[in-house]
Amino acid sequence: MGRQSAPYVRHLLASLRKGETTALEVAEALEMTRRHVYQLYRQYLVACAGGQADTWQPGRSGGNHRPSWGEAVEGLLHRLLGAKPPLSYSFAASEVLRRLGVRLDRATVRRWARRAGLKSPKTARRKPAAVRRWQCSHIGALWQLDVSPHRWWGERGPLLPLFDLLDDCSRVITGARIYARETLLNYLDFLPRAFESYGLPVALYVDYHSFFWSQQPESLTQLGKALAFYGVTLKYAPTPEAKGKIERQHLFWQNRLPALFIAEKIIAIPPANHLIELLRVHHNEEEVHREIQCTPQSAWRQAIHERRSVLRPKPACPWWQYVWCLRSTIPVGSDGRISVGTQRLRVEWPPHSRVVRCLHPSGAISVLAAPPKTGLMPRVLLHYTPPQNGNFDRTKLWKF
């Protein structure tokens, strides 16, 4: 208890017992965490029950014997909490653990920030996300998929979509990535990345967007057909509130990324996605989820140990790269050529017949004799890589 006298501590705890003060106010007065206040309060209540309230003495802590954080930790906290806008205390503690391997809790960072004259801004009250009402018992039984349009680079930055994918059982974030636009081609780039890393789920939980829902009964969209080719079903959420888990996941990214991008001077999509991937892995491995009371990766491993997994590994399918692309049929001209961009290229296929043009997320173009079909091998007539090939999420740098 160091500098505080026993009568002063008894006075604070007596006020807490009468409801005249709160545990947080006592913690600030004694310069300790609320957890330690409750431990001390429990000892005080035991003394009160024994009729020793006026003579009870708190134990001596022996002083602060914690090792110094070091210049690296304090320098990082100064940079993150001194940015405009600053990071939240909990996110700053998470970044110290991810980058330097030093574990701090939010209250410790908060007390340090107050002494250093650095305060996290008060966040605006948001409409509460939907309360969790159920969850799947098996990993891979349902992955929630949604897109969050947000100004990730502040109010003056562009409104860009972040694609978000979450396992309903374990809360593992299986994918998160910012793109320049919400397009079908970007969905075809985003989803196979997660499938290659984690396997194929049974179903995806989506809304009634035109990418997923067809206006024609008993028919599938092109994305729906690509998923059905590998046995992934689309399950539709009746309301936005029904996707409470992924909606809360959007708030997780929105509360963290804008401040971190500014603090790290990240002003383009490719480095932003690299950082998001690091944060995604760290969150899955190290951060305790408040609903399941463990880290998402621990819940994932526990489900595998208990054989509660319906995931399927990525198949060794020759059609894989041709399923996850934009396909269209085009005619072969009388000269045996087809139009590819601004060029006309020759293919070894009968004139006046039709072939399948595949636009890959990388920007490359393939031409097939026939669309993907189980049990057959793809017959590739042409593969063309345009100059300056790259993923479609490239954008110019922004200046703020």
The domain ranges of the chain are 71-115, 143-305, 320-384
Residue 70 pLDDT exceeds 60: yes
DSSP state of 46: H
Beta strands, E only, 74-210: 143-150, 160-167, 173-178, 203-206
The whole-number pLDDT of residue 215 equals 80
Residue 323: both structure tokens together: 């399923």
Q: Are 27 and 17 in contact (CB under 8 A)?
A: no
The whole-number pLDDT of residue 65 equals 52
Q: Are 180 and 160 in contact (CB under 8 A)?
A: yes
The whole-number pLDDT of residue 393 equals 45
Residue 67 pLDDT exceeds 80: no
Give the pLDDT mean for 34-40: 86
At residue 183 the predicted structure's pLDDT band, cuts being 50, 70 and 90, is: very high
Residue 112: both structure tokens together: 């340090």
Which one is predicted more confidently, 273 or 100?
A: 273
Residue 132 pLDDT exceeds 60: no
Residues ≥6 apart with Cβ < 8 Å to 344: 333, 335, 337, 338
The whole-number pLDDT of residue 290 equals 82
Instruction: Report the CATH architecture of 143-305.
Output: 2-Layer Sandwich (3.30)
Residues ≥6 apart with Cβ < 8 Å to 153: 258, 261, 262, 267, 398, 400
The whole-number pLDDT of residue 127 equals 59
Q: pLDDT of 251-307, one tens digit each?
A: 999 999 999 998 899 989 999 999 999 999 999 999 988 888 899 999 999 999 999
The whole-number pLDDT of residue 202 equals 94
Residue 1 pLDDT exceeds 80: no
Task: Identify the weakest region by mean pLDDT among 191-195, 240-244, 295-299, 339-343.
Answer: 240-244
Residue 398 pLDDT exceeds 50: no
At residue 173 the predicted structure's pLDDT band, cuts being 50, 70 and 90, is: very high
At residue 399 the predicted structure's pLDDT band, cuts being 50, 70 and 90, is: very low
Q: Which helix (H) or strand (E) holds 329?
A: strand 326-331
At residue 29 the predicted structure's pLDDT band, cuts being 50, 70 and 90, is: confident
Look up tokens 């020793």; give the residue. Answer: 52
The whole-number pLDDT of residue 397 equals 42
Nearest to 249 by CA among 306, 223, 287, 304: 287
The whole-number pLDDT of residue 121 equals 58
Which strands make up the sheet holding 160-167, listed edge to edge? 173-178, 160-167, 143-150, 203-206, 233-236
The whole-number pLDDT of residue 85 equals 78
The whole-number pLDDT of residue 37 equals 86
The whole-number pLDDT of residue 135 equals 79
Residue 61 pLDDT exceeds 70: no
